[in-house]
Amino acid sequence: MKYASVFRAALDQVHAEGRYRVFADLKRHRGEFPRATWTREDGTSSEVVVWCSNDYLGQGQNPVVLDAMHRVIEDTGAGSGGTRNISGTTHDHVELERELADLHGKESALLFTSGYVSNQASLSTLYKILPGLIVFSDALNHNSMISGIRAGGRDQRQVFSHNDLGHLEELLAAVDPEAPKLIAFESVYSMDGDIADIAGTVALAKKYGALTYLDEVHAVGMYGPRGAGVAERDGVMDQIDIVEGTLGKAFGVMGGYIAADAAIVDAIRSFADGFIFTTSIPPALAAGAVASIRYLKDHNEVRIAHQARAAALKARLLKAGLPVMPSASHIVPVLVGDAAHCKLISDILLNEHGIYVQPVNYPTVPRGMERLRFTPSPAHSDAMMDGLAAALKELWTRCSIAQVGSVAA
C-alpha cells in the first residue's frame, strides 16, 4: 500500500472543502491580553487582537494566578512526577479538589488532565459501574461526551433533539422504568451560545428516576454569584448529580474535573482508566487553578463586566447589519454559511486588520452553518469593538455574502 498517497488524499479532501485548518503562531504578552504578536510562515510578524480565546475573562494573565504558579514552581518544582496513585497526588491537587467541591456545593471532586478527558473517562466509566445504563444525550453535546458515551455504552444511548425537553421526555417514557438512566447535557452550548433549561431537565430526571450529568465547561467562572456556572445562577446546583467543568477556559489554566456525591466520585476515581493511567497535572497548574477559582468566587464584578461587553459587541454587530446568531450567553457567533468564505474572511481579518478569529467549520458545526465565533472579554475595549464592526461590515460587502438579516436576534 502507498501510505503517503492515502494521507495526501485525505488532506486533499479537506482542502477541497475549504476547511483545512491552519494554526496561527501567536505570542501573547503578559498583562496585555487580548493583544498578541502573530508570526507568519515567512518569519515576519505583526500585532493582532485575539477575538476567539476561551480564556474568557483573561484569568490566564491575572497576577494572582501567575504569582500562585510561580510560587509553587519555586517551592516544589515542575511536573507532578506520576499518576495520582504513584506519587502524583500533591498537596496542590488535594487543595484544588477541595476548592472545586466547595465551588459546586458537592461532597467531593476529582481532577483530570483536561475537560475532554473528564467527560470521556467519567461517562464511559458510569456504564461500567451501572450495568444496563441508558444515557440520554443532547444532540449537540460536545465530542468529549459523545466519545465517552460511545466508548461505554455502544447501543445503550438515546439522543434527544437539542434542548428539546418534549423529545427527551418521549425517550425517557419509552424505556424500561427499572433501567438505570442518566441525562447528559451542557449548560452553555459553545458554538451557538444558547443555554439549556436546567430546571426543566432536572424535573424530568426526577420524574423518570434518572441521574443528571451537566457539562458546565463554558459557564464555570462566568455564571452564578460565585462562578459555579448556570446551575448556580438558576438555583438548581444542588439538584445536579454530576457536574463537569474545565480549568482551561474561564479559569485560565488547564485541567478538567467532576464534582458530585462522595460515593460517585470515589467510584469514578476507582474505575476510570482515563484518570488512573495518566500523569496528573503539574502542581503549579493546580495552584494556579485554586487561585483563579478563589479570585472569581470573590469578584462578581468581573462576570458583570463580561456580560456587559458581550452585550455591547452583539449590539454593535447587529447595528452594522451583520448576521449575529441568537445567543443567550457571552458567545457572539456570526453566521457565514460557507466553509471557504469563512476561511477567507478570517484570513483577511488577520492579514489586513490585525483581527484574529478562527473560522468555525464542519465538523465542529454542521455544513452550511459555518461561522465566526467571537468571545469578547472584559479587556476588549470599545475601540477594539468599533474596529471589529467596521472591518466586518466592509468585508461582508467585499465578499458579497448575503446579509442573513432574518438570523439576527
Residues near ligand PLP (CB under 6 A) are: 114-116, 119, 142, 144, 186, 190, 215, 217-218, 246, 248, 256
Q: How far is CA 196 from CA 18, 190, 362, in A?
A: 32, 11, 23
Q: What is the DSSP letter of 133?
A: -
Q: How far is the CB of 209 from ligand PLP (least distance, A)?
A: 26
Nearer to ligand PLP (CB atom), residue 60 or residue 256: 256
Measured CA to CA, the distance from residue 39 to residue 64 in angstroms comes to 29
- Residue number, nearest CB to ligand PLP: 115
**Beta strand 371-374 with 332-335: parallel, antiparallel or unpaired?**
antiparallel
Shortest distance, CB of residue 76 to ligand PLP, whole angstroms? 23
Nearest to ligand PLP of 249, 316 (CB atom): 249
Q: Give the shortest CB-142-to-ligand PLP separation in angstroms.
A: 3
Q: What is the largest CA-CA distance in the chain?
A: 64
Contacts 24+ apart (CB under 8 A), 154-160: 156/127, 156/132, 158/134, 160/136
Asked if 31 and 61 count as a contact pair (C-beta separation under 8 A), the reply is yes
Categorise residue 22: left if φ over 0, alpha if ψ from -120 to 50, beta otherwise: beta
Minimum Å gap between C-beta 137 and ligand PLP is 12
Residue 184 CB, nearest distance to ligand PLP (Å)? 11
Nearest CA to 399 among 354, 343, 329?
A: 343
Pick between residue 246 and residue 392 the one whose CB is nearest to ligand PLP: 246
C-alpha cell at 190: 459553545
**Which residues, at least 6 apart from 81, have a Cβ–Cβ distance to it below 8 Å?**
87, 88, 279
> Which member of 106, 181, 249, 314 is catalytic?
249
> What single DSSP character describes residue 324?
B
Verify cis geometry, omega within 30 degrees of 0, for the bond prior to 177: no
Q: Would you say 54 or 76 has its CB closer to ligand PLP?
A: 54
Handedness of CA 274, 278, 283, 285 (dihedral sign): negative
Give the residue with the Cβ less far from ligand PLP, 159 or 175. 159
Least distance to ligand PLP from the beta carbon of 234, Å? 18
249: annotated active-site residue: yes
Closest contact distance (angstroms) between CB of 113 and ligand PLP is 8
In degrees, rounded to 5, the angle at the alpha carbon of residue 94 between the alpha carbons of residues 88 and 95 is: 135
57 versus 389: smaller Cβ distance to ligand PLP:
57
Residue type, 312: A
CA distance readout (Å), 99 to 82, 93, 344, 371: 22, 10, 44, 36
In the structure grid, which three cell numbers stand for residue 311, read together?
452585550
Give SS3 for 4. helix
Q: Which residues are catalytic?
A: 249
